[in-house]
Structure 1
Amino acid sequence: MKQLELYFVRHGETLFNTMDKLQGWADSPLTDNGIQIAKLTGQGLSDTSFQSVYSSDMKRAMDTANFIISANKSFTGDLKKSAHFREAFFGGFEGLDNQTTWKSIATPYGATNQTEMLEQVTPGTVRDRMHAADPLHLAETGTEFWQRIDQGLTNLLVQEPDHARILIVAHGTLIRSLAIRFSDNRFDPIHEFPQNGSITKFSINANKTKILDYNLTN
Protein backbone atom coordinates (compact mmCIF):
# COMPACT_ATOMS: atom_id res chain seq x y z
CA MET A 1 0.00 0.00 0.00
CA LYS A 2 1.36 3.41 -1.00
CA GLN A 3 2.67 5.50 1.91
CA LEU A 4 3.52 9.22 1.79
CA GLU A 5 5.17 11.60 4.26
CA LEU A 6 3.68 15.09 4.22
CA TYR A 7 5.38 18.20 5.58
CA PHE A 8 2.74 20.90 6.01
CA VAL A 9 4.21 24.38 6.51
CA ARG A 10 2.17 27.42 7.47
CA HIS A 11 2.98 30.46 5.33
CA GLY A 12 5.09 33.33 6.67
CA GLU A 13 3.59 36.24 8.57
CA THR A 14 1.31 38.48 6.50
CA LEU A 15 -0.04 42.01 6.83
CA PHE A 16 -3.44 40.69 7.94
CA ASN A 17 -1.71 38.49 10.54
CA THR A 18 -0.17 41.56 12.15
CA MET A 19 -3.62 43.20 12.25
CA ASP A 20 -5.31 40.02 13.61
CA LYS A 21 -7.77 39.98 10.71
CA LEU A 22 -9.51 36.88 9.36
CA GLN A 23 -7.68 35.77 6.23
CA GLY A 24 -9.00 32.79 4.35
CA TRP A 25 -9.49 33.20 0.62
CA ALA A 26 -8.70 36.89 1.04
CA ASP A 27 -4.98 37.45 0.66
CA SER A 28 -2.43 39.91 1.98
CA PRO A 29 1.31 40.07 1.32
CA LEU A 30 4.09 38.67 3.43
CA THR A 31 5.62 41.24 5.73
CA ASP A 32 9.38 41.73 5.91
CA ASN A 33 9.28 39.55 9.01
CA GLY A 34 7.17 37.01 7.12
CA ILE A 35 9.79 36.82 4.38
CA GLN A 36 12.46 36.26 7.01
CA ILE A 37 10.36 33.51 8.61
CA ALA A 38 9.94 31.80 5.23
CA LYS A 39 13.69 31.99 4.60
CA LEU A 40 14.45 30.57 8.06
CA THR A 41 12.06 27.67 7.45
CA GLY A 42 13.79 27.12 4.14
CA GLN A 43 17.16 27.02 5.85
CA GLY A 44 15.84 24.51 8.36
CA LEU A 45 14.63 22.28 5.53
CA SER A 46 17.57 22.88 3.20
CA ASP A 47 18.99 19.38 3.68
CA THR A 48 15.59 17.63 3.52
CA SER A 49 14.84 16.03 0.17
CA PHE A 50 11.34 16.44 -1.28
CA GLN A 51 9.97 14.62 -4.29
CA SER A 52 7.33 17.32 -4.80
CA VAL A 53 6.48 20.76 -3.42
CA TYR A 54 2.89 22.02 -3.35
CA SER A 55 1.27 25.17 -2.05
CA SER A 56 -2.21 26.54 -1.90
CA ASP A 57 -2.94 28.96 -4.72
CA MET A 58 -2.91 31.92 -2.33
CA LYS A 59 0.03 34.25 -3.03
CA ARG A 60 1.19 34.24 0.60
CA ALA A 61 1.59 30.45 0.42
CA MET A 62 3.20 30.43 -3.03
CA ASP A 63 5.71 33.11 -2.00
CA THR A 64 6.60 31.17 1.14
CA ALA A 65 7.02 27.97 -0.87
CA ASN A 66 9.34 29.66 -3.34
CA PHE A 67 11.59 30.93 -0.55
CA ILE A 68 11.78 27.38 0.83
CA ILE A 69 12.53 25.93 -2.60
CA SER A 70 15.28 28.50 -3.16
CA ALA A 71 17.06 27.33 0.00
CA ASN A 72 16.71 23.59 -0.68
CA LYS A 73 19.88 21.84 -1.75
CA SER A 74 18.31 19.00 -3.73
CA PHE A 75 14.86 19.98 -5.01
CA THR A 76 14.92 20.94 -8.70
CA GLY A 77 11.25 20.63 -9.65
CA ASP A 78 8.51 23.20 -10.06
CA LEU A 79 6.05 24.40 -7.44
CA LYS A 80 2.63 22.79 -7.86
CA LYS A 81 -0.34 25.00 -6.93
CA SER A 82 -3.53 23.45 -5.55
CA ALA A 83 -6.76 25.14 -4.52
CA HIS A 84 -7.48 22.03 -2.44
CA PHE A 85 -4.98 23.31 0.14
CA ARG A 86 -6.40 26.82 0.43
CA GLU A 87 -7.30 28.15 3.84
CA ALA A 88 -10.89 27.79 5.02
CA PHE A 89 -13.18 30.30 3.34
CA PHE A 90 -14.56 32.75 5.92
CA GLY A 91 -17.15 34.25 3.56
CA GLY A 92 -18.57 37.58 4.71
CA PHE A 93 -16.16 37.61 7.66
CA GLU A 94 -13.05 37.86 5.46
CA GLY A 95 -10.87 40.78 6.55
CA LEU A 96 -12.77 41.43 9.80
CA ASP A 97 -11.29 41.49 13.29
CA ASN A 98 -10.47 37.97 14.42
CA GLN A 99 -11.36 38.20 18.11
CA THR A 100 -14.58 40.19 17.66
CA THR A 101 -15.84 37.91 14.90
CA TRP A 102 -15.21 34.66 16.75
CA LYS A 103 -16.82 36.02 19.91
CA SER A 104 -19.99 36.85 17.95
CA ILE A 105 -20.05 33.36 16.40
CA ALA A 106 -19.31 31.53 19.67
CA THR A 107 -21.63 33.41 22.05
CA PRO A 108 -24.88 31.64 21.01
CA TYR A 109 -23.19 28.34 21.90
CA GLY A 110 -22.10 29.39 25.37
CA ALA A 111 -18.49 30.04 24.35
CA THR A 112 -16.39 33.17 23.89
CA ASN A 113 -14.02 32.17 21.09
CA GLN A 114 -13.13 29.51 18.54
CA THR A 115 -10.91 27.53 20.90
CA GLU A 116 -13.70 27.12 23.44
CA MET A 117 -15.96 25.77 20.72
CA LEU A 118 -13.25 23.34 19.57
CA GLU A 119 -13.08 21.99 23.11
CA GLN A 120 -16.65 20.78 22.60
CA VAL A 121 -17.17 20.17 18.87
CA THR A 122 -15.21 19.23 15.74
CA PRO A 123 -13.56 21.67 13.32
CA GLY A 124 -16.27 20.76 10.79
CA THR A 125 -18.99 21.84 13.21
CA VAL A 126 -17.15 25.12 13.81
CA ARG A 127 -17.14 25.66 10.04
CA ASP A 128 -20.90 25.02 10.02
CA ARG A 129 -21.40 27.55 12.82
CA MET A 130 -19.44 30.20 10.94
CA HIS A 131 -21.47 29.49 7.79
CA ALA A 132 -24.73 29.88 9.74
CA ALA A 133 -23.57 33.17 11.29
CA ASP A 134 -22.25 34.62 8.03
CA PRO A 135 -24.76 37.26 6.83
CA LEU A 136 -23.82 36.35 3.24
CA HIS A 137 -23.86 32.57 3.92
CA LEU A 138 -20.70 32.23 1.83
CA ALA A 139 -18.38 30.78 4.47
CA GLU A 140 -17.49 27.13 3.83
CA THR A 141 -19.50 24.48 5.61
CA GLY A 142 -17.73 21.63 7.31
CA THR A 143 -18.67 19.29 4.47
CA GLU A 144 -17.33 21.68 1.82
CA PHE A 145 -14.11 22.25 3.77
CA TRP A 146 -13.33 18.57 4.29
CA GLN A 147 -14.39 17.44 0.82
CA ARG A 148 -11.95 19.93 -0.69
CA ILE A 149 -9.02 18.92 1.52
CA ASP A 150 -9.74 15.19 1.29
CA GLN A 151 -9.73 15.47 -2.50
CA GLY A 152 -6.32 17.12 -2.32
CA LEU A 153 -4.97 14.30 -0.16
CA THR A 154 -6.50 11.68 -2.44
CA ASN A 155 -4.85 13.35 -5.43
CA LEU A 156 -1.46 13.07 -3.71
CA LEU A 157 -1.95 9.35 -3.13
CA VAL A 158 -2.84 8.85 -6.79
CA GLN A 159 -0.19 11.10 -8.34
CA GLU A 160 2.87 10.79 -6.10
CA PRO A 161 5.23 7.77 -5.90
CA ASP A 162 5.34 5.41 -2.95
CA HIS A 163 7.36 6.67 0.03
CA ALA A 164 7.58 10.19 -1.40
CA ARG A 165 8.27 13.05 0.98
CA ILE A 166 6.12 16.02 -0.01
CA LEU A 167 6.17 19.64 1.14
CA ILE A 168 2.82 21.47 1.23
CA VAL A 169 2.73 25.16 2.13
CA ALA A 170 -0.73 25.90 3.46
CA HIS A 171 -2.54 27.75 6.23
CA GLY A 172 -3.11 27.78 9.97
CA THR A 173 -6.75 26.75 10.24
CA LEU A 174 -6.30 24.01 7.64
CA ILE A 175 -3.24 22.58 9.38
CA ARG A 176 -4.81 22.86 12.83
CA SER A 177 -7.98 21.15 11.62
CA LEU A 178 -6.01 18.25 10.16
CA ALA A 179 -4.02 17.95 13.39
CA ILE A 180 -7.21 17.87 15.48
CA ARG A 181 -8.78 15.30 13.17
CA PHE A 182 -5.77 12.96 13.34
CA SER A 183 -4.57 13.94 16.79
CA ASP A 184 -3.07 11.72 19.43
CA ASN A 185 -2.16 12.44 23.03
CA ARG A 186 1.27 13.85 22.17
CA PHE A 187 -0.10 17.10 20.75
CA ASP A 188 -2.77 19.67 21.67
CA PRO A 189 -3.74 21.49 18.46
CA ILE A 190 -6.99 22.72 20.03
CA HIS A 191 -5.00 25.03 22.31
CA GLU A 192 -1.93 25.54 20.12
CA PHE A 193 -2.37 27.29 16.78
CA PRO A 194 0.37 26.64 14.18
CA GLN A 195 2.91 29.44 14.07
CA ASN A 196 3.91 31.13 10.83
CA GLY A 197 6.62 29.04 9.18
CA SER A 198 6.02 26.04 11.44
CA ILE A 199 6.15 22.44 10.22
CA THR A 200 3.55 19.75 10.88
CA LYS A 201 4.23 16.23 9.63
CA PHE A 202 1.84 13.43 8.70
CA SER A 203 2.19 9.96 7.25
CA ILE A 204 -0.67 8.95 5.01
CA ASN A 205 -1.91 5.90 3.14
CA ALA A 206 -5.28 4.93 1.73
CA ASN A 207 -6.51 3.64 5.10
CA LYS A 208 -4.91 5.85 7.71
CA THR A 209 -3.42 9.28 8.33
CA LYS A 210 -1.10 9.66 11.32
CA ILE A 211 0.31 12.86 12.80
CA LEU A 212 4.07 12.65 13.38
CA ASP A 213 5.00 16.15 14.60
CA TYR A 214 3.10 19.37 15.18
CA ASN A 215 4.00 23.06 14.98
CA LEU A 216 7.76 22.57 14.80
CA THR A 217 9.66 25.85 14.59
CA ASN A 218 13.28 26.88 14.15
Structure 2
Amino acid sequence: MVRFYIVRHGQTLLNSLDRAQGWADSPLTEAGRQMAADIGHKLKGIGFDAVYASDMLRAVQTAELILEANGKEGVPIKKDVRLREWCLGSMEAENNAVFMRNVTGWLGGGTSFAELNQRLPDIAAALYEHDATGMAETFQAIKYPAASNGVSIL
Protein backbone atom coordinates (compact mmCIF):
# COMPACT_ATOMS: atom_id res chain seq x y z
CA MET A 1 0.00 0.00 0.00
CA VAL A 2 1.22 3.50 -0.85
CA ARG A 3 0.89 6.19 1.81
CA PHE A 4 1.25 9.90 1.28
CA TYR A 5 2.27 12.32 4.01
CA ILE A 6 1.41 15.88 3.04
CA VAL A 7 3.06 18.61 5.07
CA ARG A 8 2.83 22.37 4.78
CA HIS A 9 6.07 24.30 5.05
CA GLY A 10 7.10 25.70 8.43
CA GLN A 11 6.60 29.34 9.37
CA THR A 12 8.53 31.74 7.13
CA LEU A 13 9.75 35.28 7.56
CA LEU A 14 6.85 36.54 5.41
CA ASN A 15 4.36 34.51 7.50
CA SER A 16 5.73 36.11 10.66
CA LEU A 17 5.37 39.56 9.09
CA ASP A 18 1.72 38.81 8.17
CA ARG A 19 2.44 38.96 4.45
CA ALA A 20 0.85 37.04 1.59
CA GLN A 21 3.14 34.65 -0.19
CA GLY A 22 2.70 32.55 -3.25
CA TRP A 23 5.82 32.69 -5.39
CA ALA A 24 7.44 35.29 -3.12
CA ASP A 25 9.78 33.09 -1.14
CA SER A 26 11.34 33.59 2.24
CA PRO A 27 13.36 31.41 4.57
CA LEU A 28 11.98 29.56 7.54
CA THR A 29 12.05 31.35 10.87
CA GLU A 30 13.51 29.60 13.89
CA ALA A 31 9.93 28.66 14.85
CA GLY A 32 9.40 27.25 11.34
CA ARG A 33 12.62 25.25 11.56
CA GLN A 34 11.47 23.85 14.91
CA MET A 35 8.03 22.98 13.47
CA ALA A 36 9.70 20.99 10.68
CA ALA A 37 12.03 19.20 13.11
CA ASP A 38 9.06 18.34 15.36
CA ILE A 39 7.23 16.79 12.41
CA GLY A 40 10.35 14.83 11.53
CA HIS A 41 10.52 13.44 15.07
CA LYS A 42 6.82 12.51 14.97
CA LEU A 43 7.39 10.65 11.70
CA LYS A 44 10.38 8.76 13.11
CA GLY A 45 10.35 5.19 11.89
CA ILE A 46 8.49 5.98 8.66
CA GLY A 47 10.44 4.64 5.69
CA PHE A 48 10.24 7.29 3.02
CA ASP A 49 10.88 6.00 -0.51
CA ALA A 50 10.49 9.41 -2.10
CA VAL A 51 10.10 13.02 -1.02
CA TYR A 52 8.57 15.68 -3.27
CA ALA A 53 8.59 19.41 -2.64
CA SER A 54 8.07 22.55 -4.63
CA ASP A 55 11.25 24.26 -5.72
CA MET A 56 10.65 27.07 -3.22
CA LEU A 57 13.24 27.55 -0.46
CA ARG A 58 10.64 27.23 2.31
CA ALA A 59 9.41 23.86 1.04
CA VAL A 60 12.89 22.44 0.47
CA GLN A 61 14.11 23.62 3.90
CA THR A 62 11.06 22.02 5.54
CA ALA A 63 11.65 18.71 3.75
CA GLU A 64 15.36 18.73 4.63
CA LEU A 65 14.66 19.38 8.30
CA ILE A 66 11.99 16.68 8.46
CA LEU A 67 14.34 14.13 6.89
CA GLU A 68 17.21 15.18 9.16
CA ALA A 69 15.09 14.83 12.32
CA ASN A 70 13.74 11.54 11.00
CA GLY A 71 17.24 10.16 10.40
CA LYS A 72 16.65 9.89 6.64
CA GLU A 73 19.04 12.57 5.31
CA GLY A 74 19.98 10.33 2.35
CA VAL A 75 16.51 10.35 0.79
CA PRO A 76 16.64 12.68 -2.23
CA ILE A 77 14.15 15.54 -2.41
CA LYS A 78 12.54 15.79 -5.83
CA LYS A 79 11.79 19.46 -6.49
CA ASP A 80 8.87 20.18 -8.78
CA VAL A 81 7.69 23.63 -9.86
CA ARG A 82 4.14 22.24 -10.23
CA LEU A 83 3.93 21.99 -6.42
CA ARG A 84 4.34 25.74 -5.93
CA GLU A 85 1.62 27.86 -4.42
CA TRP A 86 -0.03 30.12 -6.96
CA CYS A 87 1.57 33.35 -8.13
CA LEU A 88 -0.27 36.32 -6.67
CA GLY A 89 1.30 38.81 -9.08
CA SER A 90 1.46 42.34 -7.67
CA MET A 91 -0.13 41.11 -4.43
CA GLU A 92 2.94 39.00 -3.59
CA ALA A 93 4.34 39.86 -0.14
CA GLU A 94 1.48 42.32 0.43
CA ASN A 95 0.25 42.83 3.99
CA ASN A 96 -2.52 40.27 4.58
CA ALA A 97 -5.00 42.94 5.71
CA VAL A 98 -4.42 44.91 2.48
CA PHE A 99 -4.62 41.67 0.47
CA MET A 100 -7.98 40.81 2.07
CA ARG A 101 -9.34 44.34 1.66
CA ASN A 102 -8.38 44.44 -2.02
CA VAL A 103 -9.67 40.98 -2.84
CA THR A 104 -12.99 41.45 -1.03
CA GLY A 105 -13.38 44.83 -2.72
CA TRP A 106 -12.73 43.32 -6.15
CA LEU A 107 -15.27 40.59 -5.40
CA GLY A 108 -17.94 43.01 -4.26
CA GLY A 109 -17.14 43.15 -0.56
CA GLY A 110 -18.06 41.54 2.70
CA THR A 111 -16.71 38.01 2.48
CA SER A 112 -14.97 36.18 5.31
CA PHE A 113 -11.77 34.19 4.95
CA ALA A 114 -13.82 30.95 5.11
CA GLU A 115 -16.10 32.22 2.32
CA LEU A 116 -13.13 33.28 0.24
CA ASN A 117 -11.74 29.73 0.44
CA GLN A 118 -14.93 28.61 -1.34
CA ARG A 119 -14.34 31.18 -4.11
CA LEU A 120 -10.82 30.39 -5.26
CA PRO A 121 -11.66 30.63 -8.98
CA ASP A 122 -13.12 34.11 -8.37
CA ILE A 123 -10.08 35.17 -6.34
CA ALA A 124 -7.69 33.97 -9.03
CA ALA A 125 -9.68 35.87 -11.67
CA ALA A 126 -9.65 39.06 -9.57
CA LEU A 127 -5.91 38.80 -8.90
CA TYR A 128 -5.25 38.16 -12.58
CA GLU A 129 -7.46 41.06 -13.68
CA HIS A 130 -5.87 43.56 -11.27
CA ASP A 131 -2.27 42.37 -11.59
CA ALA A 132 0.24 45.01 -12.69
CA THR A 133 3.12 42.54 -13.16
CA GLY A 134 1.61 40.18 -15.73
CA MET A 135 2.62 37.24 -13.53
CA ALA A 136 -0.58 36.38 -11.64
CA GLU A 137 -1.91 32.96 -12.59
CA THR A 138 -5.36 32.13 -13.87
CA PHE A 139 -7.36 29.48 -12.02
CA GLN A 140 -6.93 27.20 -15.05
CA ALA A 141 -3.13 27.41 -14.61
CA ILE A 142 -3.46 26.71 -10.88
CA LYS A 143 -5.92 23.85 -11.23
CA TYR A 144 -4.18 22.20 -14.18
CA PRO A 145 -0.50 23.16 -14.03
CA ALA A 146 0.34 20.68 -16.80
CA ALA A 147 -1.96 22.61 -19.14
CA SER A 148 0.08 25.77 -18.63
CA ASN A 149 3.62 24.40 -18.73
CA GLY A 150 3.45 21.45 -21.10
CA VAL A 151 4.29 18.86 -18.42
CA SER A 152 2.08 15.82 -17.96
CA ILE A 153 0.96 14.83 -14.49
CA LEU A 154 0.00 11.17 -14.24
Q: Does 1:115 align with 2:121?
A: no
Q: Which of the residues 70, 84, 89 maps onto 2:82?
A: 84
Is 2:154 the counterpart of 1:148? no
Identity %: 34
Q: Which has the higher helix share?
A: 2
Q: CA deviation at 1:70?
A: 1.2
1:130 aligns to what? 127
* Corresponding residue of 1:46: 44
How far does residue 135 in structure 1 lie from its aligned partner after superposition?
2.9
Letter in 1 for 2:30: D
Matched, 1:6 2:8: no
Give the Cα separation in 2 of the matches to 1:141 and 1:53.
Answer: 28
Unaligned runs of 5+ in 2: none
Counting strand residues as a fraction of each chain, which structure ranks higher? Answer: 1
Q: CA shift at 1:6, angstroms?
A: 2.4
Structure 1 unmatched runs, 5+: 158-218
Q: Is the 8 A contact 1:29 1:59 kept in 2?
A: yes
**Separation in structure 2 between the aligned mates of residue 93 and residue 132 of structure 1, nearest angstrom:** 12
Higher RCO (Cα < 8 Å, 6 or more apart): 1
**TM-score, length of structure 2 as denominator length:** 0.84
Equivalent position SS for 1:80: strand
Q: Secondary structure at the match of 2:4?
A: strand
Q: How large is the Cα RMSD of the aligned pairs?
A: 2.3
Q: 1:39 to 1:74 in 2, by over 3 A?
A: closer
Q: Say if 1:47 and 1:74, in contact at 8 Å, map to a contact too.
A: no
Cα deviation digits, residues 153-179 of structure 1 (max 9, x gap)? x64x4xxxxxxxxxxxxxxxxxxxxxx
CA contact (8 A) 1:124 1:145 kept: no
Comparing 93-102 with 107-116, which one deviates more in the overlay? 107-116
